[in-house]
Amino acid sequence: MFKNLFKKNQSNSEESKFILPLEGKLLPIEEVPDPVFSQKMMGDGAAIDPTNGTLISPVDGQVVNIFPTKHAISLMDNNGREILIHVGLDTVTLKGEGFTSHVEDGQKVKQGQKLMDIDFEAIKDKVPSIITPIIFTNLKENEKVVIENNEIKIV
Protein backbone atom coordinates (compact mmCIF):
# COMPACT_ATOMS: atom_id res chain seq x y z
CA MET A 1 0.00 0.00 0.00
CA PHE A 2 2.85 2.39 0.74
CA LYS A 3 4.92 1.40 -2.29
CA ASN A 4 5.14 4.17 -4.85
CA LEU A 5 7.00 4.69 -8.09
CA PHE A 6 8.43 7.67 -9.86
CA LYS A 7 10.31 7.73 -13.12
CA LYS A 8 14.06 8.03 -12.99
CA ASN A 9 14.24 10.92 -15.46
CA GLN A 10 17.03 9.36 -17.46
CA SER A 11 17.10 8.07 -21.00
CA ASN A 12 17.15 4.44 -19.88
CA SER A 13 13.71 5.01 -18.31
CA GLU A 14 14.39 2.90 -15.22
CA GLU A 15 12.04 3.53 -12.33
CA SER A 16 12.88 4.19 -8.71
CA LYS A 17 10.72 2.95 -5.87
CA PHE A 18 9.45 5.55 -3.42
CA ILE A 19 7.63 4.70 -0.20
CA LEU A 20 5.77 7.13 2.02
CA PRO A 21 8.05 8.32 4.84
CA LEU A 22 5.24 8.48 7.44
CA GLU A 23 2.04 6.56 8.03
CA GLY A 24 -1.06 8.70 7.63
CA LYS A 25 -3.41 10.29 5.14
CA LEU A 26 -1.80 11.35 1.86
CA LEU A 27 -2.84 14.87 0.78
CA PRO A 28 -2.28 17.07 -2.28
CA ILE A 29 0.32 19.76 -1.59
CA GLU A 30 -2.36 22.40 -2.26
CA GLU A 31 -4.11 21.32 0.97
CA VAL A 32 -1.16 22.22 3.22
CA PRO A 33 -2.29 25.20 5.36
CA ASP A 34 0.84 27.24 4.57
CA PRO A 35 1.26 29.15 1.29
CA VAL A 36 5.01 28.45 1.10
CA PHE A 37 4.10 24.81 0.51
CA SER A 38 0.58 24.99 -0.98
CA GLN A 39 1.71 27.48 -3.64
CA LYS A 40 4.73 25.27 -4.43
CA MET A 41 7.29 28.00 -3.64
CA MET A 42 9.82 25.33 -2.61
CA GLY A 43 8.78 22.85 -5.29
CA ASP A 44 6.01 20.40 -6.07
CA GLY A 45 5.11 17.57 -3.76
CA ALA A 46 2.47 16.08 -1.52
CA ALA A 47 1.84 15.94 2.21
CA ILE A 48 0.96 13.46 4.92
CA ASP A 49 -1.33 14.02 7.89
CA PRO A 50 0.60 11.60 10.11
CA THR A 51 -0.82 8.93 12.39
CA ASN A 52 2.55 7.64 13.57
CA GLY A 53 5.77 9.37 14.63
CA THR A 54 8.30 7.12 12.91
CA LEU A 55 9.88 8.87 9.92
CA ILE A 56 11.57 6.48 7.50
CA SER A 57 13.60 7.02 4.36
CA PRO A 58 11.36 6.88 1.28
CA VAL A 59 14.36 5.97 -0.91
CA ASP A 60 17.84 4.53 -1.00
CA GLY A 61 20.21 7.48 -0.97
CA GLN A 62 21.98 9.93 1.28
CA VAL A 63 21.06 12.44 3.98
CA VAL A 64 21.95 15.85 2.53
CA ASN A 65 20.96 17.92 5.55
CA ILE A 66 19.21 17.59 8.87
CA PHE A 67 18.16 21.03 9.99
CA PRO A 68 19.67 22.01 13.38
CA THR A 69 16.17 22.10 14.90
CA LYS A 70 15.48 18.61 13.47
CA HIS A 71 12.13 19.70 12.02
CA ALA A 72 13.20 18.97 8.44
CA ILE A 73 15.50 16.64 6.56
CA SER A 74 16.65 16.67 2.96
CA LEU A 75 17.64 13.52 1.10
CA MET A 76 19.04 12.71 -2.31
CA ASP A 77 18.14 9.40 -3.85
CA ASN A 78 20.66 7.37 -5.84
CA ASN A 79 19.33 8.90 -9.08
CA GLY A 80 19.87 12.52 -7.97
CA ARG A 81 16.27 13.29 -6.98
CA GLU A 82 16.20 15.73 -4.04
CA ILE A 83 13.47 15.28 -1.42
CA LEU A 84 12.71 17.66 1.45
CA ILE A 85 10.57 16.31 4.29
CA HIS A 86 9.34 19.18 6.49
CA VAL A 87 7.73 17.73 9.63
CA GLY A 88 4.72 19.88 10.55
CA LEU A 89 4.30 23.63 10.14
CA ASP A 90 6.24 26.23 12.13
CA THR A 91 7.98 23.36 13.91
CA VAL A 92 11.26 25.27 13.66
CA THR A 93 10.02 27.22 16.71
CA LEU A 94 10.22 24.05 18.82
CA LYS A 95 14.04 24.12 18.58
CA GLY A 96 14.26 20.33 18.38
CA GLU A 97 11.71 19.53 21.10
CA GLY A 98 9.85 16.33 20.22
CA PHE A 99 12.36 15.21 17.56
CA THR A 100 14.95 12.44 17.89
CA SER A 101 17.21 11.98 14.88
CA HIS A 102 18.74 8.58 14.11
CA VAL A 103 20.93 9.68 11.19
CA GLU A 104 23.41 12.46 10.43
CA ASP A 105 24.36 14.67 7.50
CA GLY A 106 26.13 12.76 4.74
CA GLN A 107 25.01 9.35 5.94
CA LYS A 108 23.94 6.77 3.35
CA VAL A 109 20.44 5.44 4.02
CA LYS A 110 18.36 2.54 2.80
CA GLN A 111 14.69 2.71 1.91
CA GLY A 112 12.63 2.05 5.04
CA GLN A 113 15.49 2.95 7.42
CA LYS A 114 14.38 4.95 10.45
CA LEU A 115 15.47 8.58 10.11
CA MET A 116 13.73 10.16 13.05
CA ASP A 117 11.17 9.70 15.80
CA ILE A 118 8.66 12.51 16.26
CA ASP A 119 6.51 12.85 19.37
CA PHE A 120 3.43 14.26 17.65
CA GLU A 121 1.43 14.09 20.91
CA ALA A 122 3.96 16.41 22.58
CA ILE A 123 4.13 18.92 19.72
CA LYS A 124 0.66 18.96 18.12
CA ASP A 125 -0.73 21.66 20.42
CA LYS A 126 2.38 23.84 20.06
CA VAL A 127 2.30 24.23 16.27
CA PRO A 128 -0.37 25.20 13.72
CA SER A 129 -0.35 21.75 12.09
CA ILE A 130 1.51 18.44 12.06
CA ILE A 131 0.77 17.96 8.35
CA THR A 132 4.12 17.05 6.82
CA PRO A 133 5.00 18.30 3.32
CA ILE A 134 7.21 16.13 1.10
CA ILE A 135 8.79 18.36 -1.53
CA PHE A 136 10.72 17.34 -4.63
CA THR A 137 13.08 20.29 -4.96
CA ASN A 138 14.73 19.53 -8.30
CA LEU A 139 11.98 18.42 -10.67
CA LYS A 140 12.49 19.07 -14.36
CA GLU A 141 10.49 21.98 -15.77
CA ASN A 142 7.90 19.69 -17.39
CA GLU A 143 7.47 17.35 -14.38
CA LYS A 144 4.79 17.47 -11.73
CA VAL A 145 3.69 15.45 -8.72
CA VAL A 146 0.36 13.63 -8.77
CA ILE A 147 -1.37 11.48 -6.19
CA GLU A 148 -2.84 8.35 -7.69
CA ASN A 149 -4.16 5.32 -5.79
CA ASN A 150 -2.65 6.63 -2.53
CA GLU A 151 0.77 6.88 -4.18
CA ILE A 152 3.01 9.82 -5.02
CA LYS A 153 4.05 9.79 -8.67
CA ILE A 154 6.16 12.11 -10.79
CA VAL A 155 4.78 12.62 -14.30
Domain 3-154 belongs in CATH node 2.70.70.10: yes
10-residue stretch averages of pLDDT, the chain, 155 residues long? 39 60 97 97 97 97 98 96 97 97 98 98 98 96 90 89
Q: What is the pLDDT of residue 149?
A: 87
DSSP category for residue 35: H
SS3 of 122, please? helix
Catalytic residues: 86
Q: What is the pLDDT of residue 150?
A: 87
CA distances from 146 to 6, 63, 101, 102, 130 (A): 10, 24, 29, 30, 21
Q: What is the pLDDT of residue 58?
A: 96
Q: What is the pLDDT of residue 78?
A: 93
Nearest to 148 by CA among 28, 19, 14: 28
Phi-psi region of 95 (alpha: psi -120 to 50; beta: other; left: phi over 0): left
* Annotated domain spans of the chain: 3-154
Entry pTM:
0.89
Q: What is the pLDDT of residue 16?
A: 59
Alpha-carbon span 47 to 36, nearest angstrom = 13
Phi-psi region of 11 (alpha: psi -120 to 50; beta: other; left: phi over 0): alpha
